[in-house]
């Protein structure tokens, strides 16, 4: 059986509010900037391959304009010295505006990214508003500590000491294309709550909702220069942003390969840096689990957002007694999934982001076959226009094969059996990555023994890919440096200053 392709008519033909939301400019110091350094960057609808916009490709000159605007907004104290309750109020207003423009934003995201419209509405729009409201609350809760000192010198001298938490300054935020609106909010919300100003560079493939968000920032009443959005290619706009001496911190989400380059360059002038990078997350199924629940959970773990998720459950390890049943069940789910436009409510798998990425995923499928993996379903591109790949299940993949070790970032899962809990730990940790993992079991004793042994920043039990703004998120090993969300993310945007007064 093979995955079907939806044949329903495009339901967006009659009403296209997202087209009116397309912005073909950058937003710097509250004003549109239409010119970059060279040829504009074409932006595509991945479901059809059609060009829907052309964005400026910012070079050093445009990046400098944006950084200078952010620097003025920071150094003047317009934002940094605003009462914390004022920053909170504006962040809450921005959350309201995202919800009020939610239909437009969701449809724009589906058009530009290809994701299912329901996911765009619930996650990109709904979660963005939720994250903003959560981080807004932190603006009024940033504190220092009063310290007791016991220094006996000089005799008779007393000391009063305390710490201050101050905003790090101007933040260069670089985000990926898989969750464009939400990733923008993940970066700007804690930075703004801390009192920083921001230059945001969205992925060249998906700049449209970030630009619309920047307009909503201005509509909410944020001072000009507090949030600036530049567009363009990573090797031009991104590189210029990372290298700019006026940037105090780089916050990056993307591939480990690019993250390493950014980290090295940031260290040249000791910029602060946080890196949320790649993953190859294991899904560990124990032999006491609810099989149907585990099958559905494994399917959601890898096929959500077409597998274009840094925590995608791309490695499936099943205890041997259930291996055949679980893997075949997953293959049955995959083969029944409908490919199509994210605007079509019948669609279960949308397109990948680009023709280049589609080919990359197909190349990995070819590598998996050459390495001896057994394809149970999928393994090919979808029919017709657009950048589709059929959901693919590999069985019996060698542990050190490339498709078991390298991040594919598509709807491709590799499955292997294991015997003991020690085997499960060994296989799960045999990876350069350590971002997420899930365990599927009804035996909490075994689960609790496994959790501390798994090298992952997040371990889910009987669920996968569930995030909350209060739960720190980040990785072990080559999955990154630092944490998103919760109180932990504020530390990424603050400098700690110690003050010592003798009296």
Distance from CA of residue 16 to its chain's centroid?
27
The answer for residues whose C-beta is within 8 angstroms of residue 38's C-beta and 6 or more apart is: 57, 59, 236
Distances (CA, A) of 110 to 242, 290, 306, 312: 29, 34, 13, 20
Catalytic residue selected from 88, 124, 204, 276: 276
Angle (deg, nearest 10), helices 102-113 and 84-100: 70
Nearest Cα residue to 490 out of 56, 167, 35, 270: 167
Nearest Cα residue to 124 out of 182, 169, 81, 166: 182
E strands in 63-158: 146-147
- Three-state DSSP class for 484? strand
Distance from CA of residue 200 to its chain's centroid?
14
Nearest Cα residue to 389 out of 422, 350, 421, 427: 350
What is d(CA 205, CA 49) in angstroms, rounded to the nearest whole number?
12
Active site residue 124: no
If residue 54 lies in a helix (H) or strand (E), which one and from where to where?
A: strand 51-55
Nearest Cα residue to 303 out of 94, 464, 476: 464
Is 450 within 8 Å of 439 (Cβ atoms)? yes
What is d(CA 345, CA 339) in angstroms, rounded to the nearest whole number?
11
What is d(CA 134, CA 117) in angstroms, rounded to the nearest whole number?
24
> Mind telling me the catalytic residues?
276
């Amino acid at each position: 059986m093979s995955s079907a392709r939806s044949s329903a008519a495009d339901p967006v033909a009659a009403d296209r509010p997202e087209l009116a939301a397309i912005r073909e400019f950058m937003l710097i110091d509250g004003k549109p900037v239409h010119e970059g350094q060279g040829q504009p960057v074409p932006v595509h609808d991945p479901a059809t391959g059609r060009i829907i916009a052309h964005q400026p490709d910012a070079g050093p000159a445009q990046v400098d304009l944006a950084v200078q605007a952010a620097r003025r907004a920071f150094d003047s104290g317009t934002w940094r010295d605003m009462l914390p309750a004022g920053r909170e109020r504006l962040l809450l207003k921005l959350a309201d505006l995202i919800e009020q423009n939610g239909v437009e934003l969701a449809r724009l995201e589906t058009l530009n990214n290809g994701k299912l419209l329901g996911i765009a509405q619930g996650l990109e729009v709904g979660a963005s508003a939720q994250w903003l409201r959560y981080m807004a609350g932190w603006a009024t809760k940033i504190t220092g500590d009063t310290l007791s000192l016991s220094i006996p010198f000089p005799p008779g001298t007393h000391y009063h000491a305390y710490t201050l938490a101050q905003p790090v300054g101007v933040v260069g935020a670089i985000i990926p294309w898989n969750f464009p609106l939400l990733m923008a909010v993940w970066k700007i919300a804690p930075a703004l709550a801390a009192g920083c100003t921001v230059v945001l560079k969205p992925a060249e493939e998906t700049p449209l909702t970030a630009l619309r968000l920047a307009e909503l920032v201005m509509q909410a009443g944020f001072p000009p220069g507090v949030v600036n959005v530049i567009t363009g290619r990573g090797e031009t706009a991104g590189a210029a942003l990372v290298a700019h001496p006026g940037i105090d911190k780089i916050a990056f989400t993307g591939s480990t390969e690019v993250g390493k380059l950014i980290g090295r360059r940031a260290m040249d002038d000791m910029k602060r840096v946080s890196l949320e990078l790649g993953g190859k997350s294991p899904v560990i199924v124990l032999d006491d689990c609810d099989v149907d629940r585990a099958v559905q959970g494994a399917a959601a773990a890898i096929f959500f957002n077409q597998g274009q998720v840094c925590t995608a459950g791309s490695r499936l390890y099943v205890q041997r007694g259930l291996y055949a049943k679980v893997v075949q069940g997953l293959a049955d789910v995959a083969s029944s999934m409908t490919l199509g436009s994210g605007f079509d409510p019948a669609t279960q798998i949308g397109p990948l982001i680009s023709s280049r990425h589609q080919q990359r995923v197909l190349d990995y499928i070819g590598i998996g076959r050459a390495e001896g993996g057994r394809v149970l379903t999928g393994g090919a591109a979808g029919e017709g226009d657009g950048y589709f790949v059929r959901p693919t299940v590999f069985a019996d993949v060698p542990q050190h094969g490339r498709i078991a070790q390298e991040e594919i970032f598509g709807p491709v899962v590799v499955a292997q059996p294991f015997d003991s809990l020690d085997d499960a730990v060994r296989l799960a940790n045999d990876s350069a990555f350590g971002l997420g993992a899930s365990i599927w079991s009804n035996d909490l004793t075994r689960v609790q023994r496994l959790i501390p042994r798994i090298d992952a920043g997040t371990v889910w039990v009987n669920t996968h890919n569930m995030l909350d703004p209060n739960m720190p998120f980040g990785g072990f090993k080559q999955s990154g440096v630092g944490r998103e969300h919760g109180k932990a993310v504020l530390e990424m945007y603050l400098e700690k200053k110690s003050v010592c007064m003798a009296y």
